[in-house]
Amino acid sequence: MHLISNHCRQFLVALLATSALIWMNSTLAESADRNTKARSYEQLTADIAQTQTDIGKLEKRKVSDNELLETAIYSRLLRARMHLLESNLEFIKQVASAESAGQANAERRQQATAIYDSQLQVIDTTSRMIAQKIVPPQGQLAAAETAAAYSLIFGEIDRLNRVYEIYIDSIKQAGILEISADAEIEKLKQSLLDRAENGSVLLEMAMGEVSALRASIAAVPGDTETRARLSVVTAHVGNLANAVSQILTMMKSLKMDVTQYQNQLLIATGQITTDLFQVDVFTNLLVGWGETLWAQIIKEGPGLIFKLILLCIIFYIFYKLSGLVRKVTERALEDSRVELSQLLKRMVVSIVSNTVLIIGILIALSQIGISLGPLLAGMGLVGFIVGFALQDTLSNFAAGMLILVYRPFDVDDVIEAGGVSGKVSKMSLVNTTFLTFDNQTIIVPNSKIWGDVIKNVTAQTMRRIDLVFGIAYSDDIEKAEKVMAEVVAAHPAVLKDPATNIRLHELGDSSVNFIVRPWVNRDDYWETYWDLQRAMKMRFDEEGISIPFPQRDVHIHKE
């Protein structure tokens, strides 16, 4: 029960603190809205007096050991002090504006001077009050608890920055009223400088913690709590950088040098801002980078040079070895009794030589300290992405591999495939290049060729010529057969074996048709085809054998 009550108590404290912060922010916003409306001197004087009375009552209240009550009184007291600061500033501004416009009033000027003096005291008290609440979380808290603690802290820092903005504005208005503020300006500058220095130290510590957490995650990737803490600390770095940036803005308004802090902000946030284009900031960054680079060169230079020389030596050795392997593989394939296509031979040679070269590159990279595990894993991931994006190309690649394995044709073969007929002039794993008989170059994807009927005209060493000759019904059939046999036998390219086949094929409408089918070597096909057509016509003319053209008999019957 005691444990439960403690948890409930802590929850109520956090809830009340959060509600108080929300209430305070909304009240400050409402106060700012009210201040934008010009109030009369009487209204401002009454408001200031009433607020001072409220603050006095709150300060006299005695607080027991009750965290809830203490938090509530703190919130109301802080809200009242912030409202008093805004009202005092508004009164001083109105008096300064009236004097600038030539409407001086001695009584109001004296009243503004008194309010300015009290303003400085309220600023000092309020800033110390807020600073006491800005305490970093102690002990090892969970990520969520740390985030909540930081949220409350940066809420207080924002209010403290607003107090300092009022401080600066009050001093500027005092200058218009010719109130001496040199001592306050020096005090303010020193206070801002201290805050900037403290913020710089905290920012450097937070950046170091981020680096340490990232290293821890790299060693133990599955640690969810460490990842959560990294997110919290990263956000903490951003909030710290923003807080320091607000302080630097106030310092610049007082003509203070903020160059070194701007350098740290640029490194912490990694953002390119207008500060980078300031000569001092840019020069300091370049000098810092140069010193870091020179220190690394001095420290790591000899070892790096040795690694580069070793890298070049290993790469050169494997480059020469790759060339030697290429030559040996080419000679082995040429002397091999296994018949391989030209494309397959080139591919085998290229794979073997490039594999040796890649092994050399990997060995060289491992010697200079590059881990091969993530590199190979990245290559696998890239391969998967590329394969998914190039599905059609991979389909052509697979078809090209099947063509290499089954060899339906090779370079210089005359084929008909994929709707194209011609001579194969070039082959690759993704497409095949045809050179047609009328000298056109046509590139066909391998998937279209492998998925279609392939007719290889030059696959065999011998080809049969199919000829058809027709004679008239009135001509001598035996004489025609004898003449055709003599013409075919007289041609030197016609082979004796297999024997030529000459047969009466059909009785057509206008002619008696013979088939003549001699066999020739593949390279003699077209010359023999044309020669036999010409020689057969000339012998038919000499022998008086006619080649009839289509004709039709028309009979007319009279009634």
Label residue 536 by pLDDT band (50, 70, 90). very high
Residue 257 or residue 268, greater confidence = 257
Distance of CA 233 to the CA centre of its chain: 26
Label residue 537 by pLDDT band (50, 70, 90). very high
Mean predicted confidence (pLDDT) in 82-90:
88
Q: For 66-80, write each residue's pLDDT tens digit.
A: 666 677 788 888 888
Return the pLDDT at 375.
61
For the CA atoms of 99, 105, 107, 108, the dihedral, rounded to the nearest 10 degrees, stands at -40
Residue 476 or residue 217, greater confidence = 476
Among 47-61, 93-107, 287-301, which stretch is predicted with the lowest mean pLDDT? 287-301
Mean predicted confidence (pLDDT) in 310-325:
83
Q: Has residue 162 got a pLDDT over 50?
A: yes
Q: Which two tokens stand for residue 445?
A: 């994807």
Return the pLDDT at 429.
77
Q: Has residue 136 got a pLDDT over 90?
A: no
Return the pLDDT at 334.
74
C-beta separation of 237 from 203 below 8 A: yes
Give the number of other Cβ atoms within 10 Å of residue 124's Cβ: 14
Return the pLDDT at 24.
47
Q: Has residue 485 got a pLDDT over 90?
A: yes
Q: For 344-397, write each residue's pLDDT tens digit.
A: 677 777 778 888 888 877 777 776 666 666 666 666 656 655 555 555 666 777
Domain 278-389 belongs to what architecture?
A: Orthogonal Bundle (1.10)
Return the pLDDT at 478.
92
Most confident by average pLDDT, 24-38, 312-326, 499-513: 499-513
Q: What phi, psi does 417 have (nearest 5°)?
A: -160, 150
Among 166-175, 229-238, 290-299, 478-487, which stretch is predicted with the lowest mean pLDDT? 290-299
Residue 216 or residue 499, greater confidence = 499
Residue 6 or residue 469, greater confidence = 469
Return the pLDDT at 161.
87
Most confident by average pLDDT, 87-91, 415-419, 481-485: 481-485
Residue 407 or residue 384, greater confidence = 407
Q: What phi, psi does 393 have (nearest 5°)?
A: -65, -40
E strand map for 265-353: none
Task: Map out the domains of the chain as residue ranges.
Answer: 1-180, 181-275, 278-389, 392-456, 462-543
Q: Has residue 4 got a pLDDT over 60?
A: no
82 to 159, 168, 247: CA distances (angstroms):
9, 15, 19
Return the pLDDT at 22.
46
Domain 392-456: assigned CATH number: 2.30.30.60
Return the pLDDT at 495.
92
> How many CA within 13 A on the CB side of residue 92?
28
For residue 353, what are the contacts with CB-CB under 8 A and spacing of at least 6?
Answer: 322, 323, 325, 326, 329
Mean pLDDT score of the chain: 78
- Fold for domain 1-180? Delta-Endotoxin; domain 1 (1.20.190)
Return the pLDDT at 30.
45
Q: Has residue 430 got a pLDDT over 70?
A: yes
Give the number of other Cβ atoms within 10 Å of residue 97's Cβ: 12
- Fold for domain 462-543? Alpha-Beta Plaits (3.30.70)
512 to 53, 66, 128, 158, 482: CA distances (angstroms):
135, 127, 126, 112, 15
Return the pLDDT at 337.
65
Q: Has residue 16 got a pLDDT over 70?
A: no
Residue 400 or residue 3, greater confidence = 400
Q: Put the strands of the sheet holding 512-517 in their side by side order.
A: 467-471, 512-517, 501-507
Proportion of the chain above pLDDT 70, given as a percent: 77
